[in-house]
Amino acid sequence: MPPRLRPSGLPPPTNVISEPFSSSPLLPYLLPLHHLYITLPSSSSSPSSSRQFSTSTPTPARVRTRFEKTPGTRNGFLDWLKKFAGRLNVPSPQNNIPVYMQYNKPPLPLLKGGGRPNAVGFVKRPRKMEPNLVDWEQVAKNATMSPFPTNPTYKVHPALSTEFREQIYQRVREGRSVRRVSAEVNCELERVAAVVRLKEIERKWIETNRPLATVLQTRIHAMMPISQWKPGQPHHETITDLRIHPATNNQLFLSVPESMPFNRQDAAKALGILPADIRMPHSELIGVEKMKLQRVPVEEMIAREAQREQDEIAAINAKREAVEKRRNAGKVVETERFRFRLRPAVVGQVGYRYGVPAEDRKRGINKIPTRVD
């Protein structure tokens, strides 16, 4: 079996992170917060970036031909219908536009010269739609983003490209915290952590010469929108999405003096929840913005951020140590194979008691585990 992967084929870790980015670790905090204001334009997928593991020649991926219009054949459906279900009654297309397009809620996009602009400048849509006026490329593009013709609300979010994942992984391996990497590359906290987990497994597979399914990855990525890595301003998604607390769904009547300010903290107290400034992921960005408003010098900002990060790490470590300490509180008996941690327990409250009938075969008792550690 030929080895499908050579570890030497991977980009060296020093080259992965661009120089200006690694020079100032706090740069993302000082940059304008582009993840808030810029909506990501759909990136043109270049297959070259997702092929860094592959050694085979690229096969032409099957393109989305869903809305490609073939006059007379109804997008090829008639062809295969003849083969597979010859007697079916297909609704006939009108104006040579595929039928399923007609109940698309948003009107079909027009070409630049499609409609005549009126005196005010608005483009008037022609009453009778003709296929040569429709911007079919735009239609296909729209279809890539919302795959169900009957539900325009569902929009596909692009997936991370292979290079994007590699960049995230290398940053975390350099020792940066997940939180900071997440803010740097504009990617949710959980996603960054997951990417690192998956990449670790991938690395193990490469080390043990287990073949990766690179073909699968490449072909699948060629079919769907991908957010490519942009060295200057990487962006995948918004990172400050605040989960709507169920307590805020109900109305709450509260008499407040008109002369007193009533801010977010007060509202949170009234609802009995934490304020949004704390609940929001990446709440530290608020602090950075405050420093910006106060015109704190850059060095000071960096120092404060570094201090905050250190404090955070210290707090996490302290918590972890406390847990570890609690876990190791009892007697420890070390044998050749096992380390038994003995904890005081009360008979009857823990463990399996002999003589008590098991209920796991009873009707209505759920046998599916609820968690796997």
Partner 1 sequence: MARAKLFALKRPYPRQSWNKHNVYNIFRYRLPSTAGRTFFQQKFKAKQETRRFHGEYLTERKWNSMFRHTLRGVVRMNPAEMAANDGSAAVAGRGSGVDVPTEVRRTVRRLHEPPIPFAQMAFAPLERRLDTAVYRALFASSIRQARMLCVHGKVAVNGVKMPHAGYMLNPGDMFSIDPMVVMKAIGQGAGSKVYTKLSDQAKSDLITAIETGQKERKSSSYLKRDDKKVLSGNTKAEVEDNFVKTSSTTSNPESSEKKEGDAEEAVEESKGFKLPPDWRSYLPRHPRWKLYDTWQPRRFMNLFAFIPRYLEVNHNICHAVYLRHPVARSGSAEIPNPFNNETMQLAYNWYLRRR
Task: Rank residues 44 and 153 by Cβ distance to partner 1 and give the closer one.
Answer: 153
If one asks whether residue 242 binds partner 1 (CB under 8 A), the answer comes out as: yes
**Residue 67 near residue 98 (C-beta atoms within 8 A):** yes
Question: Considering CB under 8 A, how many residues would be counted as binding partner 1?
Answer: 99
CA distances from 250 to 34, 246, 276 (A): 34, 8, 17
If one asks whether residue 114 binds partner 1 (CB under 8 A), the answer comes out as: no
- Please give the residues from 134 up to 173 whose contact with partner 1 meets the rule CB under 8 A: 147-157, 159-160, 162, 165
Question: Segment near partner 1 (CB under 8 A), from 115-123, 125-133, 200-208, 343-351?
Answer: 200-208
CA distances from 170 to 165, 176, 232, 247 (A): 9, 9, 17, 40
If one asks whether residue 66 binds partner 1 (CB under 8 A), the answer comes out as: yes
How crowded is the C-beta side of 215, counted as CA atoms within 13 Å?
A: 6
If one asks whether residue 308 binds partner 1 (CB under 8 A), the answer comes out as: no
Of 161, 222, 210, 213, give the one whose Cα is nearest residue 53. 213
- Residue positions counted in the chain: 373
If one asks whether residue 340 binds partner 1 (CB under 8 A), the answer comes out as: no
**Shortest Cβ 63–partner 1 spacing (Å):** 8
- Please give the residues from 268 up to 307 whose contact with partner 1 meets the rule CB under 8 A: 276-277, 280, 282, 285-290, 292-293
Task: Rank residues 80 and 340 by Cβ distance to partner 1 and give the closer one.
Answer: 80
Taking CB under 8 A as the criterion, the residue among 53, 164, 167, 182 binding partner 1 is 53
> CB under 8 Å to 141, separation ≥6 — which residues?
42
Q: Is residue 29 exposed (0-12), middle (13-18) or buried (19+ Cβ within 10 Å)?
A: buried
- Please give the residues from 94 up to 113 whose contact with partner 1 meets the rule CB under 8 A: 99-100, 103, 105
Task: Rank residues 22 and 43 by Cβ distance to partner 1 and give the closer one.
Answer: 43
Task: Rank residues 61 and 133 by Cβ distance to partner 1 and give the closer one.
Answer: 61
Taking CB under 8 A as the criterion, the residue among 262, 269, 315, 330 binding partner 1 is 262
If one asks whether residue 369 binds partner 1 (CB under 8 A), the answer comes out as: yes
C-alpha to C-alpha distance for 209 and 59, rounded to whole angstroms: 24
**Residue 144 near residue 179 (C-beta atoms within 8 A):** no
